[in-house]
Structure 1
Protein backbone atom coordinates (compact mmCIF):
# COMPACT_ATOMS: atom_id res chain seq x y z
CA UNK A 1 0.00 0.00 0.00
CA UNK A 2 1.37 3.40 -1.03
CA UNK A 3 0.67 6.99 -0.01
CA UNK A 4 -0.03 8.91 -3.21
CA UNK A 5 -0.92 12.53 -3.98
CA UNK A 6 -2.91 13.36 -7.12
CA UNK A 7 -3.26 17.02 -8.06
CA UNK A 8 -6.25 18.28 -9.99
CA UNK A 9 -8.32 15.34 -8.77
CA UNK A 10 -11.78 16.92 -8.74
CA UNK A 11 -12.75 15.82 -12.25
CA UNK A 12 -11.54 14.05 -15.36
CA UNK A 13 -8.28 12.15 -15.50
CA UNK A 14 -7.22 13.27 -12.03
CA UNK A 15 -10.38 11.97 -10.41
CA UNK A 16 -10.21 8.73 -12.42
CA UNK A 17 -6.58 8.24 -11.39
CA UNK A 18 -7.27 8.89 -7.71
CA UNK A 19 -10.36 6.67 -7.73
CA UNK A 20 -8.49 3.78 -9.36
CA UNK A 21 -5.61 4.05 -6.89
CA UNK A 22 -7.98 4.15 -3.92
CA UNK A 23 -9.84 1.18 -5.34
CA UNK A 24 -6.57 -0.77 -5.39
CA UNK A 25 -6.14 -0.10 -1.68
CA UNK A 26 -3.69 2.78 -1.74
CA UNK A 27 -3.88 5.79 0.57
CA UNK A 28 -4.75 8.61 -1.79
CA UNK A 29 -4.59 12.31 -0.96
CA UNK A 30 -6.45 14.41 -3.49
CA UNK A 31 -5.90 18.03 -4.43
CA UNK A 32 -8.61 20.35 -5.74
CA UNK A 33 -8.83 24.09 -6.27
CA UNK A 34 -11.43 24.62 -3.53
CA UNK A 35 -12.96 22.38 -0.82
CA UNK A 36 -16.31 22.16 -2.63
CA UNK A 37 -14.54 20.60 -5.63
CA UNK A 38 -13.22 17.59 -3.70
CA UNK A 39 -15.40 14.92 -5.26
CA UNK A 40 -16.18 11.70 -3.41
CA UNK A 41 -14.80 8.50 -4.94
CA UNK A 42 -16.94 5.49 -5.75
CA UNK A 43 -17.76 4.36 -2.23
CA UNK A 44 -17.29 7.63 -0.37
CA UNK A 45 -14.70 7.92 2.35
CA UNK A 46 -11.77 6.27 0.57
CA UNK A 47 -9.61 9.38 0.36
CA UNK A 48 -6.80 9.47 2.90
CA UNK A 49 -7.07 13.25 2.87
CA UNK A 50 -7.58 16.32 0.75
CA UNK A 51 -5.63 19.51 0.15
CA UNK A 52 -6.85 22.62 -1.63
CA UNK A 53 -5.38 25.60 -3.42
CA UNK A 54 -5.58 27.40 -6.75
CA UNK A 55 -2.49 26.39 -8.74
CA UNK A 56 -3.08 29.25 -11.19
CA UNK A 57 -2.20 31.65 -8.36
CA UNK A 58 1.54 31.55 -7.70
CA UNK A 59 1.07 32.76 -4.12
CA UNK A 60 -1.10 29.72 -3.32
CA UNK A 61 1.29 27.04 -4.59
CA UNK A 62 3.58 27.04 -1.49
CA UNK A 63 0.49 26.64 0.69
CA UNK A 64 -0.47 23.53 -1.28
CA UNK A 65 3.02 22.17 -0.62
CA UNK A 66 2.66 23.00 3.07
CA UNK A 67 -0.63 21.11 3.29
CA UNK A 68 0.93 18.16 1.49
CA UNK A 69 3.78 18.07 4.00
CA UNK A 70 1.32 17.35 6.80
CA UNK A 71 0.88 13.85 5.36
CA UNK A 72 4.60 13.07 5.45
CA UNK A 73 6.61 11.69 2.57
CA UNK A 74 4.56 10.44 -0.35
CA UNK A 75 5.52 7.29 -2.20
CA UNK A 76 4.32 8.89 -5.43
CA UNK A 77 3.03 12.25 -6.62
CA UNK A 78 0.95 12.49 -9.80
CA UNK A 79 1.10 16.05 -11.13
CA UNK A 80 -2.15 15.89 -13.05
CA UNK A 81 -3.60 19.40 -12.63
CA UNK A 82 -3.79 21.24 -15.93
CA UNK A 83 -5.62 23.80 -18.02
CA UNK A 84 -5.71 24.78 -21.68
CA UNK A 85 -6.59 28.39 -20.97
CA UNK A 86 -4.03 31.19 -21.28
CA UNK A 87 -2.53 32.89 -19.40
CA UNK A 88 -3.13 30.42 -16.54
CA UNK A 89 -1.72 27.47 -18.50
CA UNK A 90 1.92 28.37 -17.89
CA UNK A 91 1.40 28.62 -14.14
CA UNK A 92 -0.78 25.54 -13.69
CA UNK A 93 0.95 23.25 -16.19
CA UNK A 94 4.61 24.18 -15.65
CA UNK A 95 5.26 26.54 -12.75
CA UNK A 96 3.10 24.71 -10.20
CA UNK A 97 4.67 21.28 -10.83
CA UNK A 98 8.12 22.86 -10.56
CA UNK A 99 7.41 24.68 -7.29
CA UNK A 100 5.61 21.75 -5.68
CA UNK A 101 8.46 19.42 -6.64
CA UNK A 102 11.03 21.82 -5.22
CA UNK A 103 9.20 22.40 -1.93
CA UNK A 104 7.92 18.91 -1.15
CA UNK A 105 9.87 16.01 0.29
CA UNK A 106 11.05 13.86 -2.59
CA UNK A 107 8.83 10.83 -3.25
CA UNK A 108 9.93 7.56 -4.79
CA UNK A 109 8.07 8.36 -8.01
CA UNK A 110 7.10 11.59 -9.75
CA UNK A 111 4.58 11.44 -12.59
CA UNK A 112 3.86 14.50 -14.73
CA UNK A 113 1.03 14.80 -17.25
CA UNK A 114 2.24 15.76 -20.70
CA UNK A 115 0.36 15.68 -23.99
CA UNK A 116 1.04 14.70 -27.59
CA UNK A 117 0.51 18.41 -28.28
CA UNK A 118 3.85 19.11 -26.59
CA UNK A 119 5.48 18.32 -29.93
CA UNK A 120 4.09 21.62 -31.26
CA UNK A 121 5.48 23.56 -28.30
CA UNK A 122 7.98 26.41 -28.49
CA UNK A 123 11.40 26.61 -26.87
CA UNK A 124 10.97 30.38 -26.52
CA UNK A 125 11.00 30.64 -22.73
CA UNK A 126 10.12 34.33 -22.73
CA UNK A 127 6.56 33.08 -23.16
CA UNK A 128 6.72 31.49 -19.71
CA UNK A 129 6.41 34.83 -17.94
CA UNK A 130 4.73 37.15 -20.44
CA UNK A 131 1.35 35.42 -20.67
CA UNK A 132 1.67 34.29 -24.29
CA UNK A 133 2.40 30.60 -23.68
CA UNK A 134 0.17 28.11 -25.46
CA UNK A 135 -0.98 24.80 -24.01
CA UNK A 136 1.52 23.06 -26.30
CA UNK A 137 4.35 25.23 -24.99
CA UNK A 138 3.54 24.42 -21.37
CA UNK A 139 3.39 20.71 -22.06
CA UNK A 140 6.77 20.79 -23.80
CA UNK A 141 8.21 22.61 -20.79
CA UNK A 142 6.77 20.22 -18.20
CA UNK A 143 8.05 17.29 -20.27
CA UNK A 144 11.53 18.83 -20.32
CA UNK A 145 11.23 19.46 -16.57
CA UNK A 146 10.37 15.80 -16.03
CA UNK A 147 13.32 14.55 -18.01
CA UNK A 148 15.65 17.02 -16.28
CA UNK A 149 14.54 15.58 -12.95
CA UNK A 150 14.83 11.96 -14.04
CA UNK A 151 18.36 11.48 -12.75
CA UNK A 152 18.59 14.40 -10.34
CA UNK A 153 17.81 12.68 -7.04
CA UNK A 154 18.89 9.21 -6.02
CA UNK A 155 15.87 7.14 -5.13
CA UNK A 156 13.38 9.29 -7.05
CA UNK A 157 12.14 8.34 -10.52
CA UNK A 158 10.43 10.84 -12.82
CA UNK A 159 8.20 10.02 -15.78
CA UNK A 160 6.06 12.00 -18.23
CA UNK A 161 2.75 10.61 -19.49
CA UNK A 162 0.73 11.40 -22.58
CA UNK A 163 -2.76 10.25 -21.54
CA UNK A 164 -4.12 10.58 -25.06
CA UNK A 165 -7.06 12.62 -26.28
CA UNK A 166 -9.70 11.47 -23.83
CA UNK A 167 -13.36 12.49 -23.36
CA UNK A 168 -13.01 14.61 -20.25
CA UNK A 169 -14.27 18.15 -19.74
CA UNK A 170 -10.95 19.36 -21.16
CA UNK A 171 -10.80 16.84 -23.99
CA UNK A 172 -14.43 17.22 -25.04
CA UNK A 173 -16.98 14.63 -26.17
CA UNK A 174 -15.35 14.10 -29.58
CA UNK A 175 -12.12 12.77 -28.05
CA UNK A 176 -11.09 9.48 -29.61
CA UNK A 177 -8.96 7.84 -26.88
CA UNK A 178 -10.22 5.58 -24.10
CA UNK A 179 -10.63 7.20 -20.69
CA UNK A 180 -9.57 4.08 -18.80
CA UNK A 181 -6.40 3.80 -20.85
CA UNK A 182 -5.92 7.52 -20.32
CA UNK A 183 -5.41 7.16 -16.58
CA UNK A 184 -4.02 3.62 -16.57
CA UNK A 185 -0.42 4.57 -17.26
CA UNK A 186 -0.09 7.06 -14.41
CA UNK A 187 -1.70 4.68 -11.91
CA UNK A 188 0.67 1.95 -13.10
CA UNK A 189 3.77 4.15 -12.86
CA UNK A 190 2.77 5.44 -9.42
CA UNK A 191 2.60 1.94 -7.98
CA UNK A 192 5.24 -0.09 -9.83
CA UNK A 193 8.94 0.29 -9.14
CA UNK A 194 10.06 -2.14 -11.86
CA UNK A 195 9.41 -0.39 -15.14
CA UNK A 196 11.75 0.03 -18.10
CA UNK A 197 13.19 2.59 -18.26
CA UNK A 198 13.19 2.98 -14.47
CA UNK A 199 13.21 6.77 -14.82
CA UNK A 200 13.01 9.34 -17.59
CA UNK A 201 10.33 7.68 -19.69
CA UNK A 202 7.87 9.48 -21.94
CA UNK A 203 4.88 7.15 -21.86
CA UNK A 204 1.72 6.59 -23.86
CA UNK A 205 -0.53 3.70 -22.77
CA UNK A 206 2.32 1.93 -20.92
CA UNK A 207 4.69 2.13 -23.88
CA UNK A 208 7.51 4.64 -24.28
CA UNK A 209 7.72 7.06 -27.18
CA UNK A 210 10.20 9.69 -28.30
CA UNK A 211 9.29 13.18 -27.06
CA UNK A 212 10.12 16.49 -28.72
CA UNK A 213 13.95 16.55 -29.05
CA UNK A 214 14.19 19.69 -26.89
CA UNK A 215 12.70 17.80 -23.95
CA UNK A 216 15.83 15.64 -23.78
CA UNK A 217 18.29 18.44 -24.59
CA UNK A 218 20.38 19.14 -21.44
CA UNK A 219 21.01 22.73 -22.58
CA UNK A 220 17.31 23.46 -22.94
CA UNK A 221 16.58 21.72 -19.65
CA UNK A 222 19.11 23.91 -17.85
CA UNK A 223 17.70 27.06 -19.47
CA UNK A 224 14.23 26.04 -18.37
CA UNK A 225 15.31 25.35 -14.80
CA UNK A 226 17.08 28.69 -14.69
CA UNK A 227 14.03 30.60 -15.92
CA UNK A 228 11.77 28.80 -13.47
CA UNK A 229 14.18 29.51 -10.60
CA UNK A 230 14.36 33.20 -11.50
CA UNK A 231 10.61 33.50 -12.05
CA UNK A 232 9.58 31.81 -8.79
CA UNK A 233 12.51 32.48 -6.46
CA UNK A 234 12.47 28.76 -5.68
CA UNK A 235 15.44 26.52 -6.43
CA UNK A 236 15.49 22.76 -6.76
CA UNK A 237 17.48 20.95 -4.10
Structure 2
Protein backbone atom coordinates (compact mmCIF):
# COMPACT_ATOMS: atom_id res chain seq x y z
CA UNK A 1 0.00 0.00 0.00
CA UNK A 2 1.23 3.49 -0.77
CA UNK A 3 2.94 5.26 2.15
CA UNK A 4 0.73 8.30 1.46
CA UNK A 5 -2.13 6.48 3.18
CA UNK A 6 -0.18 6.42 6.44
CA UNK A 7 0.92 10.03 5.94
CA UNK A 8 -2.75 11.00 5.82
CA UNK A 9 -3.63 8.71 8.72
CA UNK A 10 -0.98 10.26 10.97
CA UNK A 11 -2.79 13.60 10.75
CA UNK A 12 -6.19 12.24 11.76
CA UNK A 13 -7.86 11.23 15.01
CA UNK A 14 -9.88 8.08 14.24
CA UNK A 15 -10.91 4.98 16.13
CA UNK A 16 -9.94 1.49 14.98
CA UNK A 17 -13.20 0.91 13.08
CA UNK A 18 -12.85 4.19 11.18
CA UNK A 19 -9.20 3.44 10.36
CA UNK A 20 -10.10 -0.01 9.03
CA UNK A 21 -12.90 1.42 6.88
CA UNK A 22 -10.63 4.17 5.55
CA UNK A 23 -7.87 1.66 4.77
CA UNK A 24 -10.28 -0.61 2.88
CA UNK A 25 -11.63 2.31 0.82
CA UNK A 26 -8.09 3.49 0.06
CA UNK A 27 -7.18 0.00 -1.17
CA UNK A 28 -10.32 -0.06 -3.31
CA UNK A 29 -9.55 3.37 -4.78
CA UNK A 30 -6.03 2.32 -5.81
CA UNK A 31 -7.45 -0.91 -7.24
CA UNK A 32 -10.14 0.92 -9.23
CA UNK A 33 -7.68 3.49 -10.60
CA UNK A 34 -5.39 0.72 -11.86
CA UNK A 35 -8.36 -1.04 -13.47
CA UNK A 36 -9.54 2.17 -15.16
CA UNK A 37 -6.04 2.81 -16.51
CA UNK A 38 -6.30 -0.53 -18.28
CA UNK A 39 -9.85 0.15 -19.50
CA UNK A 40 -8.86 3.52 -21.03
CA UNK A 41 -5.44 2.47 -22.32
CA UNK A 42 -4.94 4.09 -25.73
CA UNK A 43 -8.18 6.11 -25.53
CA UNK A 44 -7.66 9.91 -25.67
CA UNK A 45 -9.55 11.79 -22.95
CA UNK A 46 -8.45 15.37 -23.66
CA UNK A 47 -10.86 17.88 -25.22
CA UNK A 48 -13.80 15.47 -24.93
CA UNK A 49 -17.38 15.62 -23.73
CA UNK A 50 -17.67 12.70 -21.32
CA UNK A 51 -20.77 11.27 -19.63
CA UNK A 52 -20.23 9.34 -16.38
CA UNK A 53 -23.35 7.21 -15.87
CA UNK A 54 -23.85 6.38 -12.22
CA UNK A 55 -21.55 8.36 -9.93
CA UNK A 56 -21.43 5.61 -7.30
CA UNK A 57 -18.31 5.82 -5.13
CA UNK A 58 -16.94 8.52 -7.44
CA UNK A 59 -13.81 6.56 -8.40
CA UNK A 60 -14.49 6.59 -12.15
CA UNK A 61 -15.30 10.29 -12.33
CA UNK A 62 -12.22 11.16 -10.27
CA UNK A 63 -10.12 9.12 -12.70
CA UNK A 64 -11.63 10.96 -15.68
CA UNK A 65 -11.01 14.35 -14.05
CA UNK A 66 -7.41 13.50 -13.14
CA UNK A 67 -6.57 12.10 -16.59
CA UNK A 68 -8.12 14.63 -18.96
CA UNK A 69 -7.42 18.18 -20.06
CA UNK A 70 -9.98 20.71 -21.30
CA UNK A 71 -12.79 18.13 -21.18
CA UNK A 72 -16.40 18.54 -20.06
CA UNK A 73 -17.37 15.76 -17.65
CA UNK A 74 -20.99 15.28 -16.62
CA UNK A 75 -21.84 12.75 -13.91
CA UNK A 76 -25.38 11.56 -13.22
CA UNK A 77 -26.78 9.58 -10.30
CA UNK A 78 -30.14 9.21 -8.57
CA UNK A 79 -28.53 9.28 -5.13
CA UNK A 80 -27.56 12.78 -3.88
CA UNK A 81 -25.21 11.16 -1.36
CA UNK A 82 -23.11 9.78 -4.22
CA UNK A 83 -22.92 13.21 -5.85
CA UNK A 84 -21.93 14.84 -2.55
CA UNK A 85 -19.28 12.18 -1.91
CA UNK A 86 -17.73 12.95 -5.29
CA UNK A 87 -17.72 16.68 -4.52
CA UNK A 88 -15.65 15.90 -1.44
CA UNK A 89 -13.04 13.72 -3.17
CA UNK A 90 -12.31 15.77 -6.31
CA UNK A 91 -11.11 18.80 -4.37
CA UNK A 92 -10.16 21.87 -6.39
CA UNK A 93 -11.04 20.09 -9.67
CA UNK A 94 -14.75 20.30 -8.87
CA UNK A 95 -15.17 22.98 -11.54
CA UNK A 96 -14.43 20.42 -14.27
CA UNK A 97 -17.57 18.44 -13.43
CA UNK A 98 -21.28 19.00 -14.02
CA UNK A 99 -23.29 17.21 -11.30
CA UNK A 100 -26.77 15.97 -12.22
CA UNK A 101 -29.26 14.10 -10.07
CA UNK A 102 -31.20 11.94 -12.49
CA UNK A 103 -32.05 8.60 -14.05
CA UNK A 104 -29.94 7.22 -16.91
CA UNK A 105 -33.05 5.75 -18.52
CA UNK A 106 -34.67 9.19 -18.79
CA UNK A 107 -32.36 12.11 -19.65
CA UNK A 108 -34.48 14.56 -21.70
CA UNK A 109 -32.42 17.46 -20.30
CA UNK A 110 -29.34 16.22 -22.22
CA UNK A 111 -28.94 17.10 -25.90
CA UNK A 112 -28.87 14.39 -28.55
CA UNK A 113 -25.58 13.56 -30.30
CA UNK A 114 -23.60 15.52 -27.71
CA UNK A 115 -21.09 13.29 -25.87
CA UNK A 116 -17.90 11.82 -27.32
CA UNK A 117 -17.59 9.16 -24.60
CA UNK A 118 -20.07 7.57 -22.19
CA UNK A 119 -18.91 5.37 -19.31
CA UNK A 120 -21.08 3.02 -17.24
CA UNK A 121 -18.66 1.80 -14.55
CA UNK A 122 -20.48 -0.97 -12.63
CA UNK A 123 -23.75 0.83 -13.27
CA UNK A 124 -25.80 -1.29 -15.67
CA UNK A 125 -25.96 -4.16 -13.18
CA UNK A 126 -27.86 -1.78 -10.87
CA UNK A 127 -30.58 -1.29 -13.49
CA UNK A 128 -33.34 -3.90 -13.78
CA UNK A 129 -33.45 -6.02 -16.93
CA UNK A 130 -36.85 -4.50 -17.79
CA UNK A 131 -35.50 -0.94 -17.57
CA UNK A 132 -32.11 -1.59 -19.17
CA UNK A 133 -33.28 -1.25 -22.82
CA UNK A 134 -34.59 2.26 -22.03
CA UNK A 135 -31.24 3.24 -20.52
CA UNK A 136 -29.31 1.87 -23.51
CA UNK A 137 -31.50 3.82 -25.94
CA UNK A 138 -31.02 7.03 -23.94
CA UNK A 139 -27.25 6.56 -23.82
CA UNK A 140 -27.21 5.96 -27.58
CA UNK A 141 -29.28 9.11 -28.12
CA UNK A 142 -26.91 11.43 -26.24
CA UNK A 143 -23.75 9.97 -27.84
CA UNK A 144 -22.53 11.65 -31.00
CA UNK A 145 -22.29 9.53 -34.16
CA UNK A 146 -19.06 7.57 -33.89
CA UNK A 147 -19.02 8.12 -30.12
CA UNK A 148 -17.69 5.48 -27.73
CA UNK A 149 -19.71 3.80 -24.97
CA UNK A 150 -17.70 1.79 -22.42
CA UNK A 151 -19.30 -0.65 -20.00
CA UNK A 152 -17.37 -2.19 -17.11
CA UNK A 153 -18.99 -4.96 -15.09
CA UNK A 154 -18.18 -8.07 -13.11
CA UNK A 155 -19.68 -11.18 -14.69
CA UNK A 156 -19.54 -14.91 -14.23
CA UNK A 157 -18.32 -17.00 -11.34
CA UNK A 158 -14.60 -16.83 -12.10
CA UNK A 159 -12.31 -18.57 -9.65
CA UNK A 160 -14.60 -20.66 -7.48
CA UNK A 161 -12.51 -20.54 -4.34
CA UNK A 162 -14.16 -20.02 -0.96
CA UNK A 163 -13.69 -16.25 -1.16
CA UNK A 164 -15.70 -16.11 -4.41
CA UNK A 165 -18.39 -18.48 -3.13
CA UNK A 166 -19.05 -16.12 -0.22
CA UNK A 167 -19.88 -13.27 -2.62
CA UNK A 168 -22.09 -15.54 -4.73
CA UNK A 169 -24.04 -16.42 -1.58
CA UNK A 170 -24.40 -12.71 -0.73
CA UNK A 171 -25.71 -12.04 -4.24
CA UNK A 172 -28.34 -14.77 -3.79
CA UNK A 173 -29.41 -13.22 -0.49
CA UNK A 174 -29.68 -9.82 -2.22
CA UNK A 175 -32.08 -11.34 -4.76
CA UNK A 176 -34.16 -12.84 -1.94
CA UNK A 177 -34.43 -9.51 -0.13
CA UNK A 178 -34.97 -7.17 -3.09
CA UNK A 179 -36.20 -9.50 -5.83
CA UNK A 180 -34.18 -7.67 -8.50
CA UNK A 181 -33.07 -9.52 -11.60
CA UNK A 182 -29.68 -8.40 -12.88
CA UNK A 183 -28.42 -8.92 -16.41
CA UNK A 184 -25.58 -11.41 -16.83
CA UNK A 185 -22.99 -10.91 -19.57
CA UNK A 186 -24.95 -12.77 -22.26
CA UNK A 187 -28.16 -10.87 -21.48
CA UNK A 188 -26.37 -7.50 -21.47
CA UNK A 189 -24.62 -8.17 -24.78
CA UNK A 190 -27.91 -9.29 -26.31
CA UNK A 191 -29.66 -6.09 -25.18
CA UNK A 192 -26.82 -3.93 -26.52
CA UNK A 193 -26.97 -5.67 -29.90
CA UNK A 194 -30.73 -5.08 -30.03
CA UNK A 195 -30.31 -1.35 -29.36
CA UNK A 196 -30.62 0.56 -32.67
CA UNK A 197 -27.48 2.55 -33.43
CA UNK A 198 -25.07 0.59 -31.21
CA UNK A 199 -22.46 -2.00 -32.21
CA UNK A 200 -20.07 -3.89 -29.95
CA UNK A 201 -16.47 -3.24 -31.05
CA UNK A 202 -14.65 -5.48 -28.57
CA UNK A 203 -14.88 -7.22 -25.20
CA UNK A 204 -11.94 -7.53 -22.80
CA UNK A 205 -11.68 -9.72 -19.73
CA UNK A 206 -9.62 -7.65 -17.30
CA UNK A 207 -8.97 -10.19 -14.54
CA UNK A 208 -10.20 -13.39 -12.88
CA UNK A 209 -11.88 -11.64 -9.97
CA UNK A 210 -10.41 -9.32 -7.36
CA UNK A 211 -10.21 -9.74 -3.61
CA UNK A 212 -12.26 -6.83 -2.29
CA UNK A 213 -12.24 -5.91 1.42
CA UNK A 214 -15.17 -3.52 0.96
CA UNK A 215 -17.62 -6.35 0.16
CA UNK A 216 -18.23 -6.68 3.90
CA UNK A 217 -19.98 -3.29 3.66
CA UNK A 218 -22.38 -4.89 1.15
CA UNK A 219 -22.95 -7.74 3.61
CA UNK A 220 -23.70 -5.28 6.41
CA UNK A 221 -26.09 -3.43 4.07
CA UNK A 222 -28.00 -6.68 3.50
CA UNK A 223 -28.01 -7.34 7.23
CA UNK A 224 -29.68 -3.98 7.86
CA UNK A 225 -32.34 -4.57 5.18
CA UNK A 226 -33.85 -7.86 6.28
CA UNK A 227 -35.97 -8.95 9.24
CA UNK A 228 -35.63 -12.63 8.37
CA UNK A 229 -33.72 -14.27 11.23
CA UNK A 230 -32.51 -17.12 9.03
CA UNK A 231 -31.07 -14.70 6.47
CA UNK A 232 -29.48 -12.63 9.23
CA UNK A 233 -27.76 -15.75 10.58
CA UNK A 234 -26.50 -16.66 7.10
CA UNK A 235 -25.16 -13.16 6.51
CA UNK A 236 -23.37 -13.08 9.87
CA UNK A 237 -21.71 -16.41 9.11
CA UNK A 238 -20.61 -15.11 5.70
CA UNK A 239 -19.16 -11.96 7.28
CA UNK A 240 -17.25 -13.99 9.87
CA UNK A 241 -15.83 -16.27 7.17
CA UNK A 242 -15.04 -13.35 4.87
CA UNK A 243 -13.06 -11.56 7.56
CA UNK A 244 -10.80 -14.61 7.69
CA UNK A 245 -10.36 -15.49 3.99
CA UNK A 246 -11.53 -12.38 2.11
CA UNK A 247 -14.21 -11.81 -0.52
CA UNK A 248 -13.51 -12.40 -4.23
CA UNK A 249 -15.67 -10.59 -6.77
CA UNK A 250 -16.59 -11.82 -10.25
CA UNK A 251 -14.13 -11.30 -13.14
CA UNK A 252 -14.15 -7.75 -14.53
CA UNK A 253 -14.98 -7.13 -18.18
CA UNK A 254 -14.81 -4.02 -20.35
CA UNK A 255 -17.22 -3.83 -23.28
CA UNK A 256 -16.44 -1.23 -25.96
CA UNK A 257 -19.46 -0.08 -27.96
CA UNK A 258 -19.59 2.30 -30.91
CA UNK A 259 -22.49 4.47 -32.00
CA UNK A 260 -23.06 4.19 -35.73
CA UNK A 261 -21.95 7.01 -38.01
CA UNK A 262 -24.84 8.50 -39.96
Normalization by structure 1: what TM-score?
0.48
Structure having the higher Rg: 2
Normalization by structure 2: what TM-score?
0.45
Q: Compare the two structures and name the one with the higher helix fraction.
A: 2
